Amino acid sequence: MEKKKEEFSILLRNCMDVMYRVALRRTNEKSKAEDLVAESCLKAWKSFGNLRDHKSFKSWILRILTNTYISHYRKAKTTPEPIYESEFLKENEDFSLFEQLSSPFVLYNTNPEKEFLNKIFSIDLKKAVDSLPEAYGEVVTLCCLEDIPYKEAAKILKLPVGTVRSRLHRGKAILQKILWEYGKERRYI
C-alpha cells in the first residue's frame, strides 16, 4: 500500500503543472482549477490500481481531469462560451499569419514576420489561446502547448485522431487570425 502510494505521488508530482494549466484553461478561474485538480487526484487514486502501464499516467490522469470537468464544472458554468459565428470559423480555417505578414502589402521592413513576433506581448498570446472556442482550445492546449501526441490527445478527449488533427489545424488558424487582429489593434502591422 505504502509503495503504491509513493509511486502515485511521484507520478502525480510530475504531472501537477500540466494538470493545473489544463484545468485553468478549462475553468478560467484559479479556485475552480484548483478544485478540479484536487478532485481529479482523488478519483485517480481510487482507480490507480487499474492503471496497467505507468508510462501512460499523464494521459490517463488528464483524461480523468477532462471527464471530471465535463461532468461537474461545465454544467455549473455561468458565463456562456464566446460565440463564434460559424461564418468566422469557416472563413478563417486556413488563415496563416505568416502569409499575411509576408504579403507584398506589408513591406515596411525586411522581416515583418519576425518583427511581429518580437512585438507581440505574452499577455496577448495567452488571451488569444483563452478566447478560442472550447472545442479548438482543448486540442490546441494539449497538442500545441503541452506537446501531447495526437493519439494521446484523442484518448484524453475521447475523439477520433482525425478529429483531433483537423481541430488542431483549424484551432491554430483561428488563433493566428486572433493574433493578427490584436496586431492590427496595437498597430504592429
Partner 1 sequence: MKTISCYEAVKRIFELLEGELTRTKKEELDGHISTCRDCCNRFEFEELLKKKLQKASGQEKTPKRLVKRIDSLLKSF
* Contacting residues toward partner 1, per CB under 8 A: 5, 8-9, 12, 16-17, 19-21, 24-25, 30, 34, 37-38, 41-42, 45, 97-98, 102, 113-114, 117, 120, 122-123, 125-126, 129, 141, 143-145, 147, 149-150, 168-169, 172, 175-176
- DSSP one-letter code for 13: H
Least distance CB 111 / partner 1 (angstroms): 8
Give me 7's grid cell. 509511486
State the CB neighbour count (10 A cutoff) for residue 134: 13
Nearer to partner 1, 77 or 165 (CB): 165
Q: With respect to partner 1, which residue has the nearer C-beta, 13 or 187?
A: 13
Give, to the nearest 10 degrees, the angle between helix 57-68 and helix 30-47: 120
In sign, the C-alpha dihedral spanning 29, 129, 139, 62 is negative
The nearest distance, CB 78 to partner 1, in angstroms, is: 23
Considering only CA atoms, which of 177, 188, 185, 187 is closest in space to residue 99?
177
How many Å apart are CA 143 and CA 88, to the nearest integer?
23
> Least distance from C-beta 174 to partner 1, angstroms?
13
Residues 130/28, Cβ–Cβ less than 8 Å: yes
Q: Which is nearer to partner 1, 66 or 141 (CB)?
A: 141
> What minimum distance in Å lies between the beta carbon of 29 and partner 1?
13
| Residue number, 143 or 157, with CB nearest to partner 1 | 143
Task: Report CA 13 to chain centroid distance, whole Å.
Answer: 20
**Smallest separation, CB 143 to partner 1 (Å):** 6
Nearest CB to partner 1, comparing residues 66 and 152: 152
